[in-house]
């Protein structure tokens, strides 16, 4: 709806500028012809009916302009819709601002100073932890530099006995934590954390068990859909998302661009948006064939993790798209495919199956 609204607004703006200003002035100054006057257009029509022969160059220009101004308007409308006006105006504004407003020298100096950013925790090896739960002092070779110069036999200050120890009412239980020599020399990238527990599901068996006839590896529009479940009252379009990594889902249009999902290193068009778009087109095809089953789009996260899934569930619900997980997909807040799949009482006939198969 946002795209339709913007297209209409752009069309109205182009129409006002083209017809109400440019073409109106063009006809008025050249032929004293009022473009929006029914009387003037009636006069031209009567001239044609009485046998007006076009000979003069100005008459040809008048007629050709009248015939071409409608197609030219639609071309200008189409071109104007393709332009991102907000971005263009902001770019122009920055250039004009750069011409008339001199930059502050202090800000320039500030920009030239490079501030060394703190190293990522993923590239910094954690310090070993000693028996009392504190970070050990810096190691150099096989010696401990506790107080800069006392040598290998020096005792760290925090391990030396106090002259008058303070009484403790209740002794605290301390659990020593050690990192062995081999582990302490490993980088964090080399230390493998336990993988997420795989959610074992046979998607075809689940669809069949829920009373659906199954078509595999279908192409809905331009979108490969791995599983299609068909029953007497529903058609379930199951898109399996196999993109690995952590993804931040976003289903909002920005500057009339398709919704995007973001990871640390890349972005892609929202698979939910792609599935919903093709599902709507497929529903129209079914209606044209007289098929009345309800379309149920389902996105199955298999390899990656949607890190903001909990926040997006209400949005997906409003979009009428089911989002679930299977295999190594996450997070765990997402329901499994077996849990989210709607049940059906009647799996339909072979005729229903063949009729829908012909639409792919």
Domains of the chain, by residue range, sit at: 2-94, 116-148+173-193, 203-357
Q: Mean pLDDT of all residues in the chain? A: 79
Q: If you average pLDDT over residues 318-333, what whole number do you get?
A: 94
Q: Which one is predicted more confidently, 268 or 138?
A: 268
Which residue is associated with the tokens 């698979």? 271
* pLDDT tier at 201, thresholds 50, 70, 90: very high
Q: If you average pLDDT over residues 335-355, what whole number do you get?
A: 91
* pLDDT tier at 210, thresholds 50, 70, 90: very high
Contact assessment for residue 157 and residue 146, using Cβ atoms and an 8 Å cutoff: yes
Which tens digit of pLDDT belongs to each residue from 249-294? 999 988 778 999 999 889 999 999 999 999 999 999 999 989 989 9
Residue 144: predicted pLDDT: 42
Which tens digit of pLDDT belongs to each residue from 107-137? 544 444 455 555 554 445 444 444 444 444 4
In terms of residues, how long is the chain? 360
Contact assessment for residue 324 and residue 337, using Cβ atoms and an 8 Å cutoff: yes
Question: How many whole angstroms separate alpha carbon 333 and alpha carbon 320?
Answer: 18
DSSP single-letter state for residue 194? P
Question: How many whole angstroms separate alpha carbon 158 and alpha carbon 136?
Answer: 10
Residue 342 predicted with pLDDT over 80: yes
**Architecture of the domain whose range is 203-357:** 3-Layer(aba) Sandwich (3.40)
Residue 138: predicted pLDDT: 45
Question: How many whole angstroms separate alpha carbon 4 and alpha carbon 276?
Answer: 17
Q: Which two structure tokens, joined as six digits, stand for 225?
A: 């859909």
SS3 133: coil
Residue 246 predicted with pLDDT over 80: yes
Residue 154 predicted with pLDDT over 50: no
Pairing of strands 267-269, 213-220: unpaired
Contact assessment for residue 19 and residue 72, using Cβ atoms and an 8 Å cutoff: no
Please give the share of the chain, as a percent, with pLDDT higher than 90. 40
Residue 54: predicted pLDDT: 82
Question: How many whole angstroms separate alpha carbon 128 and alpha carbon 125?
Answer: 9
* pLDDT tier at 347, thresholds 50, 70, 90: confident
Question: How many whole angstroms separate alpha carbon 214 and alpha carbon 83?
Answer: 44
- Of 158, 267, 280, nearest in space to 220 by CA: 280
Own/partner contacts of 354-359, CB < 8 Å, gap of 24 or more, are: 355/289, 355/291, 356/215, 356/228, 356/230, 356/235, 356/286, 356/291, 356/293, 357/215, 359/282, 359/285, 359/286, 359/289
Q: Which two structure tokens, joined as six digits, stand for 3?
A: 């795209």
Residue 295: predicted pLDDT: 95
Which tens digit of pLDDT belongs to each residue from 30-89? 888 988 888 898 888 888 888 888 878 888 898 899 899 899 999 998 988 888 877 777
Q: If you average pLDDT over residues 293-320, what whole number do you get?
A: 95
Residue 271: predicted pLDDT: 96
Contact assessment for residue 229 and residue 212, using Cβ atoms and an 8 Å cutoff: yes
SS3 301: strand
Written as one string, the DSSP assignment of 206-255 is: HHHHTT-EEEEEEEETTEEEEEEEE-SSEEEEEEEE---SEEB-----BT
Question: How many whole angstroms separate alpha carbon 9 and alpha carbon 3?
Answer: 10
* pLDDT tier at 159, thresholds 50, 70, 90: very low
Question: How many whole angstroms separate alpha carbon 163 and alpha carbon 143?
Answer: 27
Contact assessment for residue 324 and residue 334, using Cβ atoms and an 8 Å cutoff: yes
* pLDDT tier at 207, thresholds 50, 70, 90: very high
- Of 275, 273, 278, nearest in space to 312 by CA: 273
Which tens digit of pLDDT belongs to each residue from 85-102? 777 777 777 777 677 665
SS3 153: coil
Q: Which one is predicted more confidently, 204 or 47?
A: 204
Give the containing element (helix H, strand E) for 294: strand 294-301
Predicted TM-score of the model (pTM): 0.49
* Interacting residues of 134 by C-beta distance below 8 A, sequence separation 6+: 158
* Interacting residues of 254 by C-beta distance below 8 A, sequence separation 6+: 260
Question: How many whole angstroms separate alpha carbon 73 and alpha carbon 97?
Answer: 33
């Amino acid at each position: 709806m946002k795209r339709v609204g913007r297209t209409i607004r752009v069309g109205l703006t182009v129409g006002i500028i083209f017809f109400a200003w440019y073409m109106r002035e063009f006809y008025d100054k050249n032929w004293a012809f009022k473009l929006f006057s029914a009387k003037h257009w009636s006069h031209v029509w009567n001239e044609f009916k009485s046998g007006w022969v076009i000979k003069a160059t100005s008459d040809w220009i008048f007629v050709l302009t009248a015939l071409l101004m409608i197609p030219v308007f639609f071309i200008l409308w189409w071109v104007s819709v393709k332009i991102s006006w907000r971005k263009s105006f902001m770019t122009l504004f920055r250039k004009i601002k750069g011409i008339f407003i001199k930059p502050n020298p202090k800000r320039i100096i500030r920009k030239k100073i490079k501030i060394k950013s703190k190293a990522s925790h993923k590239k910094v090896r954690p310090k070993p932890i000693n028996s009392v739960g504190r970070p050990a002092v810096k190691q150099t070779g096989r010696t401990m530099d506790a107080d800069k110069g006392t040598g290998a036999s020096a005792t760290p200050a925090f391990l030396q006995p106090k002259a008058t120890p303070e009484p403790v009412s209740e002794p605290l239980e301390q659990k020593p934590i050690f990192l062995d020599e081999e582990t302490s020399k490993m980088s964090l990238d080399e230390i493998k954390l336990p993988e997420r527990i795989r959610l074992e599901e046979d998607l075809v068996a689940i669809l069949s068990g829920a009373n659906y006839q199954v078509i595999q590896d279908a192409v809905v529009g331009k979108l490969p859909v791995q599983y299609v479940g068909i029953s007497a009252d529903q058609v379930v379009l199951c898109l399996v998302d196999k993109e690995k990594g952590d993804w931040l889902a976003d289903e909002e249009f920005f500057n009339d661009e398709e919704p995007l999902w973001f990871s640390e290193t890349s972005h892609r068009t929202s698979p939910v948006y792609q599935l919903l778009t093709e599902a709507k087109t497929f529903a129209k095809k079914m209606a044209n064939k007289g098929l009345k089953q309800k379309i149920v789009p389902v996105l199955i996260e298999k390899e990656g993790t949607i890190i903001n899934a909990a926040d997006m569930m209400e949005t997906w619900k409003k979009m009428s798209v089911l989002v679930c997980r299977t295999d190594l997909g996450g997070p765990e807040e997402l329901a499994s495919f077996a849990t989210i799949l709607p049940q059906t009482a009647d799996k339909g006939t072979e005729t229903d199956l063949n009729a829908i198969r012909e639409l792919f």
